[in-house]
Amino acid sequence: MIDLCVIGAGPAGLMAAEVAIDAGLSVVVTDAKPSFGRKFLMAGKSGLNLTKDEPFTDFTAAFGDAENWLLPMLKNFRNMEVQSWATALGQPVFTGSSGRVFPKAMKASPLLRAWLLRLANKGVQFKTRWHWTGWNGQDLTFQTPDGPQTITACTCVLALGGASWPKLGSDGTWSDILVGEGVTLAPFKPANMGFNVQWSDYMKPHFGAPIKTVQITAGATSVRADFVISSKGIEGSGIYAVSKDMREGARLFIDLLPDTDIATLNSRIARLSKKTSRSSILRKALRLDPAKAALFNEFAHNIPLPDIVKAAKALAIEHTGTRPIAEAISTAGGVPRQELTGQLMLRRKPGVFCAGEMLDWEAPTGGYLITGCLATGRWAGQSVVNYAALRKA
Ligand SMILES: Cc1cc2nc3c(=O)[nH]c(=O)nc-3n(C[C@H](O)[C@H](O)[C@H](O)COP(=O)(O)OP(=O)(O)OC[C@H]3O[C@@H](n4cnc5c(N)ncnc54)[C@H](O)[C@@H]3O)c2cc1C
């Protein structure tokens, strides 16, 4: 009988495996996919943002409603420790201007390769293409290329990810298994996602255009950032930052000219001839680039001339809902706090622990997600070690 079976080889599962093997437990890591860490590798495609270099209290505040729950876990693996962890794997990091921390290589592949090698050298066994299907009594059951298989393990860490980007492995199908075991889950919702907009044909030439350095506000959240006009709607880091507020019903307002105050804009307009056309006002006084001017016209074409400045400083963007969860960067919902002990063990399944994005927490982009997964993975691994020690005693 193996001491620990980790199911799901993303950052959370691999961290749990390492803590357990370091404590002398026997560990097997299984994953449904032919290779490990596919979402982690995808995260590295546009620069692997591992964590954020900022005061710890600011860092934990980003976890919102889940801050209080995750605090002991984040204290146990702080944002600063993520940096030394990556460096110890031969991947030195740097901090970008916004405080975001990246490996110098930017990608995830060298980090993942070094981590898997270190785990293998420590004696962790790996099984790929093993799709977990549930339990048969105490045994874990899997569908594999060689047919159904079982693993008998003293403990198990489920680190199965959320439900976004299902083709990378985390497809959320584990939810049916846990519901079948009587676990009540929080419904999955997209997090850090784009929104649908029903554009007029007039916007077609601007699909793919970035809207740069605007002030983006929804509810209590307001950020200076960029976003992108896509054929389906709006997406990109600035939209993701306010996406939780928008998902919960807050309206989206864009200040297209955050560095110019209303008085300055009005005085520029006053200097123009009274006959100046609306499009010339946008170009000459507001100095909007073509994509910003198009966005303005899309949502403010009915605004009377005297209100142009006010509208450009708080352009209300109407959307028709979130893009599908499959396209979201991450997932809200999953296994809620009340179904787990403080050690992240399922109350209904003694010896079964959960970690990573499958837990019911969400956070913005900026390295909070990977740090949250590593920290909860580490916490679950340490809980397994304590649980195994108690069983042996
Ligand atoms: C495009 C993109 C960019 C991102 N960029 C960043 C970033 O820069 N910084 C950041 O902090 N976060 C980023 N993220 C989010 C981050 O990648 C995830 O939050 C993180 O990978 C989740 O880790 P995890 O270990 O919980 O789950 P995952 O990494 O999703 O791993 C779960 C594993 O479980 C396996 N699995 C699922 N079901 C089963 C089953 N039934 N049987 C066996 N195995 C199963 C899957 O195959 C998968 O390998 C990004 C995400 C995306 C999609």
Please, which pLDDT band fits residue 154 given cuts at 50, 70 and 90? Answer: very high
C-alpha separations of 93 from 4, 101, 168, 364, 386 in Å: 31, 7, 26, 21, 32
Mutation to probe ligand 1, out of 73, 126, 329 (largest number of atoms < 8 A from CB): 329
Q: Which atom of ligand 1 is nearest to the CA of 161?
A: 27
Residue 150 Cα, ligand 1 centroid: separation in angstroms? 24
Predicted pLDDT at 69: 98
Portion of the chain with pLDDT greater than 70, in percent:
100
Mutation to probe ligand 1, out of 59, 74, 160 (largest number of atoms < 8 A from CB): 160
pLDDT tens digit string along 179-205? Answer: 999 999 999 999 999 999 999 999 999
Instruction: Give yes or no for residue 90 having a pLDDT over 90.
Output: yes
Predicted pLDDT at 171: 96
Residue 43 Cα, ligand 1 centroid: separation in angstroms? 8
Instruction: Give yes or no for residue 309 having a pLDDT over 90.
Output: yes
The arithmetic mean of pLDDT across residues 112-116, rounded, is 98
pLDDT tens digit string along 36-87? Answer: 999 999 999 999 999 999 999 999 999 999 999 999 999 999 999 999 999 9
The arithmetic mean of pLDDT across residues 329-335, rounded, is 98
Question: Whose Cα sits closest to atom 35 in ligand 1?
Answer: 8
Q: Is 241 helix (H, G, I), strand (E, B) or coil?
A: helix
Residue 158 Cα, ligand 1 centroid: separation in angstroms? 13
Q: Which residues line ligand 1 (CB under 6 A)?
A: 7-13, 30-33, 38-40, 42-43, 48-49, 131-132, 159-161, 164-165, 169-170, 173-174, 329-330, 356-357, 367, 369-370, 373
Predicted pLDDT at 393: 84
The arithmetic mean of pLDDT across residues 322-350, rounded, is 98
Contact 227, 211 (CB under 8 A): yes
Alpha-carbon distance 72 to 75, whole Å?
5
Q: Is 353 helix (H, G, I), strand (E, B) or coil?
A: strand
Predicted pLDDT at 392: 84
Residue 317 Cα, ligand 1 centroid: separation in angstroms? 31
Instruction: Give yes or no for residue 391 having a pLDDT over 90.
Output: no
Question: Whose Cα sits closest to atom 8 in ligand 1?
Answer: 49
Q: Which atom of ligand 1 is nearest to the CA of 164?
A: 53
The arithmetic mean of pLDDT across residues 323-330, rounded, is 97
Predicted pLDDT at 317: 98
The arithmetic mean of pLDDT across residues 356-367, rounded, is 97
Instruction: Give yes or no for residue 32 having a pLDDT over 90.
Output: yes
**In sequence order, what are the residues at sequence separation of 6 or more whose Cβ sits closer than 8 angstroms to the Cβ of residue 100?**
49, 52, 53, 366, 367
Mutation to probe ligand 1, out of 83, 165, 369, 376 (largest number of atoms < 8 A from CB): 369
Residue 172 Cα, ligand 1 centroid: separation in angstroms? 11
Instruction: Give yes or no for residue 355 having a pLDDT over 90.
Output: yes
Q: What one-letter code names the amino acid at 131?
A: H
Residue 59 Cα, ligand 1 centroid: separation in angstroms? 21
Predicted pLDDT at 305: 87
Predicted pLDDT at 63: 97
Instruction: Give yes or no for residue 97 having a pLDDT over 90.
Output: no
pLDDT tens digit string along 224-267? Answer: 999 999 999 999 999 999 999 999 999 999 999 999 999 999 99
Global confidence as pTM: 0.96
Residue 360 Cα, ligand 1 centroid: separation in angstroms? 14
Q: Around 385, how many Cα atoms within 13 Å sit in the side-chain half-sphere?
A: 17
Q: Which atom of ligand 1 is nearest to the CA of 174?
A: 41
Within the chain, residue ranges assigned H as helices are 11-22, 38-43, 56-61, 67-76, 79-88, 109-122, 174-180, 237-247, 262-270, 278-280, 290-300, 308-313, 368-392
